[in-house]
Amino acid sequence: MSERPIKIRIRDLHKSFGAKQVLDGIDLDVAEGESVVVIGGSGTGKSVLLKCVLGLIEPDRGSILVNGQEVVGLGRRAREQVMQKFGMLFQNAALFDSLPVWENVAFGLLNVKRIGRSEAKERAIETLGQVGLGADVADLWPAELSGGMRKRVGLARAIATQPEILFFDEPTTGLDPIMADVINDLIARSVRQLGATAISITHDMASARKIADRIAMLYQGRIIWQGPVAHIDHSGNPYVEQFIHGRGEGPIKLDVRAA
């Protein structure tokens, strides 16, 4: 762990849906300016973990501190204040279909920071440039974009308000390897330029290696290993070994039934 102050501290986080215990006592610290990637198989609770931090899902118990402030159980107004520190890239970008690209990017500037439309559009075009998209994209509609362009617009929207904390939910899912690499580079550069703290969740190891300072592995609702990205290949943890090499045989048993 670095000597930098802790930006996000998660302790004993539990969440279940019915009988299924999804998070079973998560402890995780993320230092200021650090990029942590949470890896794990599908259905291990990675998205639930992010959504708990964002307040989209209320945990059953546990504590989440952001800048030392407890965010579990926050009221709506206080939550809106805290959310101004965050930017989020969703798995499928989650662009607003009813708004053109530039209004998607400038959404936070227009509706939260309440700056004028012409200035917001200028800043949106500038931000689109940072993710490698030209001004001609600004007036398109989300439905007119390819998968890679949607991710870039989603990234532009996430960084447009220059947040302190960035979350990335499966940023390369559904992209070809080249576009995935482009998105990984953009994420790494955006985080570095903003000096932001980042948590990404993915099962794409190429992505994890590229954007992480530190990797944590989630399995059966718990963090079973965490360490610097350089140590991932020598973790000594059989679960991590099996996961990063994508082996069917090993301690991780998938619930696969014969057809």
Partner 1 sequence: MNPLAVIGRLFLSFLVAIGDLTLFAGRAIVQGVSGPYYPRAILRQMIDIGYYSLPVVGLTAIFTGMVLALQSHTGFSRFEAQSAVATIVVLSMTRELGPVLAGLMVAGRVGASMAAEIGTMRVTEQIDALTTLSTDPFKYLVWPRLIAGLLMLPLLVIVADIIGVFGGYIVGTYKLGFGPHEYINNTFEFLETQDVVSGLVKAAVFGFLVALMGCYQGYHSEGGAQGVGAATTKAVVSASILILTANYVVTELFFSR
Q: Which residues form the interface with partner 1 (CB under 8 A)?
A: 51, 54-56, 76, 80-81, 83-84, 86-88, 90-92, 94-98, 107-108, 111-112, 114, 157, 167
Nearer to partner 1, 86 or 239 (CB): 86
Residue 92 or 162 having the CB closest to partner 1 = 92
Q: Give min distance, CB of 75 to partner 1, in A.
A: 12
Q: What's the distance, Cα to Cα, between the start and end of the chain in Å?
A: 45
Kindly state the smallest distance separating residue 129's Cβ from partner 1, in Å: 21
Edge-to-edge order in the sheet of strand 222-228: 86-89, 165-169, 197-202, 35-39, 214-219, 222-228
In whole angstroms, the minimum distance from the beta carbon of 38 to partner 1 comes to: 17
In this structure, are residues 179 and 100 in contact, taking their beta carbons and an 8 Å threshold? no
Residue 122 and residue 86: Cα distance in Å, rounded?
22
- Output 84 or 193, the one with its CB closest to partner 1: 84
CB of 241 to partner 1, least distance (A): 33
**Cβ–Cβ contacts within 10 Å for residue 2, how many?**
13
Instruction: Return the number of the residue (128 or 244) whose C-beta is nearest partner 1.
Output: 128
CB of 176 to partner 1, least distance (A): 22
Q: How far apart are CA 154 and CA 11, in angstroms?
A: 30
> Closest CB to partner 1 among 46 and 51?
51
CB-nearer residue toward partner 1: 142 or 252: 142
DSSP string, 180-240: HHHHHHHHHHHHHHHT-EEEEEES-HHHHHHH-SEEEEEETTEEEEEEEGGGGGG---HHH
Q: How far is the CB of 98 from partner 1 (least distance, A)?
A: 7
The answer to whether the CB of 76 falls within 8 A of the CB of 240 is no
CA distance 113 to 104: 14
Tokens 């099962």 sit on residue: 203
Q: Which of 75, 47, 77, 93 is nearest to 201 (CA)?
A: 47
186 close to 155: Cβ distance less than 8 angstroms: yes
Closer CB to partner 1, 96 or 116, in the complex: 96
Tell me the closest approach of the beta carbon of residue 32 to partner 1, in angstroms.
Answer: 20
